[in-house]
Amino acid sequence: MGDDGITTLHLTVSKLLFREALMLQLIKLPNIRVVGESSHGAEALRILSVAPAEILFIEEELEDNDGLTIAETARTKFPWLNVLLVVEKPVRQSRMAVYLESGVRAVVPKTAAMKEMLKALTYVSYGQTYIDPDMHWKHPVDSERKSVNAMSKLSEREQEVARQLAYNRSIKSIALDLGVSQKTVHTYKDRILIKLEIGGFTELLVYLNRIRQTEPALFRGDFGVV
């Protein structure tokens, strides 16, 4: 986001009708400026090289390549680029982890309402991660217990660390905010993984982001996102 509060965006969607429908909505947003549009991955990379953007709004199924590959290539050239990925069908947990590890900030199904897509875009424009709560993938924890009960297993300090992780804050930022060392925050993170029975950090972020969207009262905070 620039000093003027405007976030620049490049839109890559193969079907003209869908792209135009999105454009009609995007141009109405006061804090978003569309600086480029394309229908193919190679075209998107070419335009981004001459008209850089802060957000790449791209669909996964493109005619010349898949959106994730294009997004990864673009982020190699433009590390600041945040990616909103539109997918054709429900995503498995393992695939979601791949998306997040590749730098994708938001994943929404193509069938989502326009309001939901714009909500995801708002999250991305503030550097936050968004996962559509209606995506039909299941985390192992979800099948065993409700999120509220799972979070109640954590100590007060562990809940605070989890809350800040849910807002995509870095370990360094959390340590500074809590007045502890980064090593201490890592210790809290490891305890959270054990208590929630989650295998890895990426899976934890997926889980916490989902709870933040479905149980927002658990994750209210007045800290900034870093």
Q: What is the pLDDT of residues 80-90, one digit of tens each?
A: 999 999 998 77
Residues near 8 by beta carbon (within 8 Å), at least 6 away in sequence: 2, 33, 34, 35, 52, 53, 54, 55
Give kind and range of the element (H or E) at residue 85. Answer: strand 82-87
The SS3 call for residue 185 is helix
Torsion angles phi and psi, residue 133, rounded to 5: -65, -15
Domains of the chain (ranges; CATH) run: 7-131 (3.40.50.2300), 140-219 (1.10.10.10)
Report the candidate in 154, 157, 183, 177 with the shortest Cα–Cα distance to residue 226.
177
The SS3 call for residue 147 is helix
Q: What is the DSSP letter of 61?
A: B
| Low pLDDT (below 70) residues in the chain | 1-4, 93-94, 133-150, 199, 218-226
CA atoms within 13 A on the CB side of 44: 35
pLDDT at residue 74, rounded to an integer: 94
pLDDT at residue 96, rounded to an integer: 76
In the numeric block, the tokens 């994730």 are attached to: 68
Say whether pTM exceeds 0.85. no
pLDDT at residue 142, rounded to an integer: 45
pLDDT at residue 208, rounded to an integer: 83
pLDDT at residue 166, rounded to an integer: 86
pLDDT at residue 223, rounded to an integer: 45
pLDDT at residue 199, rounded to an integer: 64
pLDDT at residue 187, rounded to an integer: 86
